[in-house]
Amino acid sequence: MVVNEIKSRVFYVGVRDWDRRLFDDLIPLPDGTSYNAYLIKGSEKTALIDSVDPPKSAELMTNLERLKVESIDYLVCNHTEQDHSGAIPDVLEKYPGAKVVANQKCKGLLKDHLLIPEEKFITVEDGETISLGDKTLEFVMTPWVHWPETMCTYLREDKILFSCDFFGSHLAGSDLFVQNEPKVIEDAKRYYAEIMMPFRGIIKKNIEKIEPLDFEIIAPSHGPLYDKPGIIVNAYKEWIADKVENVVLIPYVSMHGSTEAMVFFLIEKLMEKGITVKPFNLTRTDLGELAMSLVDAATIVLGTPTVLTGPHPAAVYAVTLVNALRPKLKFATIIGSYGWGGKTVEIIKNNMTNLKVELLDPVLVKGVPKEEDFKALEKLAEKIAAKHKELKI
């Protein structure tokens, strides 16, 4: 591992996880990830900002040894999730004089998740500061990015905002600072879509809260650091804005080809109307790609056959995910084929209760799609185009 000095006596001591391909046993990581931790040596005290995922604890310790860190006074925990807090017990064992600096909520969660004893904590409130001598840490509560206890730490003299997951990206690159801007923004968008999107409203408030801080660097806990913070702050503003794009997403699965034929026909009809269409074959798609597309799309059409009496399990999985991510979709519907009957539409509708969408008439077909069914799909394409036009997109 490499230890970098970001500013005078402010060091990157985190770890890249080049080979990790799945997060939370759920989220695909095409570019790996990193767990960023930072060591700040003040004239009087030393602070460590966050730690790393437990399997990478030894690498964090090696980085601290490289810097000849003999004592740590404060171990700031911006967020309880174990990819940042998991190595705290190891740090406390090696540096027994260290105190864990956390807000009240975070302290409670750390006790639950890592069994850290009460006497190890210093709790901080919104706006409180801790002096390291010639450097000052200021704590800014930014809840729900993406847990209730999340906060940022601002290093006043060096104008660095340590934002933890907020503004992060799952990207295990060798660059400390953003070099390939489009690539990082794409990975940050994927990251936003997967864990931040359900909290759009509160993210807006958090951005308004941090913006008055005079930061020159955003140092998140995943992915490269931003020395032009405007690029990621503006990207977030765009992603959380109410505006949607002229895009229809069609996650689908097909058993005997009928639903697929309907999907492909609808794609053509939508394309003829100048609409961007993104199909996702649910038997092989990267769900992160679907999540990322949900950030801006206006409409979703779920394509599913009926299995026994309900939707295909792959479609249920997808709609459960979409519902949990609460994207700003405006319209939704369902198309597909069934054998003899079932409650597919009802079941899917019951799994979409978080979505504030207008439900357009579904097109469900018994057996193979026939002439009248294709006509119904054509009408659906016309309806979607008209609805998008009303939105002026």
Looking at the Cβ atoms of 147 and 374, the one nearer to ligand FEO is 147
Reduce the DSSP state of residue 242 to 3 states and report it. coil
d(CA 76, CA 90): 14
User: Would you count residue 79 as binding ligand FEO (CB under 6 A)?
Assistant: yes
Buried b or exposed e, range 264-292, using 16+ CB within 10 angstroms? ebbbebbeebebebbbbebeebebbebbb
Q: Which residue is nearest to ligand FEO (CB)?
A: 81
Does residue 16 belong to the site contacting ligand FEO (CB under 6 A)? Answer: no
| 373 scored as a contact of ligand FEO (CB under 6 A) | no
Of residues 79 and 330, the one with the C-beta less far from ligand FEO: 79
Q: What type of residue sits at position 299?
A: T
Distance separating alpha carbons of residues 389 and 382, to the nearest angstrom: 10
- Mark the segment that binds ligand FEO (CB under 6 A) among 80-88, 244-252, 274-282, 322-330: 80-88
CA 277 to chain centre: 23
Looking at beta carbons only, is 36 or 351 nearer to ligand FEO?
Answer: 36
For 170, phi then psi, to 5°, come to -85, 95
Q: Minimum distance from CB of 222 to ligand FEO (Å)?
A: 6
In whole angstroms, give the CA distance from residue 168 to residue 187. 9
Rounded to a whole number of angstroms, the minimum distance from the CB of residue 194 to ligand FEO is 10
**Complex with ligand FEO: residue 153 or 259, whichever CB lies closer:** 153
One residue of 107, 200, 222, 312 binding ligand FEO per CB under 6 A: 222
CB of 287 to ligand FEO, least distance (A): 18
Q: Please report how close the Cβ of residue 79 comes to ligand FEO at its closest, in angstroms.
A: 6
In terms of Cα–Cα distance, which of 263, 248, 268 is closest to 337? 263
Q: Which is nearer to ligand FEO, 50 or 296 (CB)?
A: 50
Which CB sits closer to ligand FEO, 81 or 296?
81
Nearer to ligand FEO, 196 or 302 (CB): 196
- Residue count, binding to ligand FEO (CB under 6 A): 8
Contacts with ligand FEO, 329-368, as mask; x by CB under 6 A: ----------------------------------------
Minimal distance, residue 92 CB to ligand FEO, in Å: 20
DSSP H stretches of helix in the chain: 57-66, 82-85, 88-94, 104-114, 181-191, 200-210, 230-240, 258-272, 287-294, 313-325, 344-350, 371-390
User: CA 6 to CA 8: how far, in whole Å?
Assistant: 7
Apex CA 99: angle with CA 151 and CA 97, to 5°?
Answer: 155
Q: Kindly state the smallest distance separating residue 37's Cβ from ligand FEO, in Å.
A: 12
Distance from C-alpha of 292 to C-alpha of 97, rounded to nearest angstrom: 43
The yes or no reply on residue 84 touching ligand FEO (CB under 6 A) is: yes
Only segment of 75-83, 123-131, 236-244, 266-274 that touches ligand FEO (CB under 6 A): 75-83
Among the residue ranges 76-84, 207-215, 249-257, 355-363, the one whose residues contact ligand FEO (CB under 6 A)? 76-84
- 8-state DSSP, 177: B
| Beta carbon of residue 85, minimum distance to ligand FEO (angstroms, whole number) | 9
Minimal CA–CA distance to 72: which of 52, 100, 53?
Answer: 100
Residue of 31, 81, 194, 260 interacting with ligand FEO (CB under 6 A): 81
Cα 79 from chain centroid (whole Å): 14
State how far the Cα of 74 lies from the Cα of 99, in Å rounded to an integer: 5
- Least distance CB 84 / ligand FEO (angstroms): 6
Is the Cβ–Cβ distance between 173 and 223 less than 8 Å? yes
Asked if 53 interacts with ligand FEO (CB under 6 A), we say: no
Nearest residue (CB) to ligand FEO, 56 versus 330: 56
Taking the complex as a whole, the smallest distance from the CB of residue 146 to ligand FEO amounts, in Å, to 6
Peptide bond into 146 cis (omega under 30): yes
Chain positions 160 to 199 lying near ligand FEO, rule: CB under 6 A, are 165
Binding site for ligand FEO (CB under 6 A): 79, 81, 83-84, 146, 165, 221-222
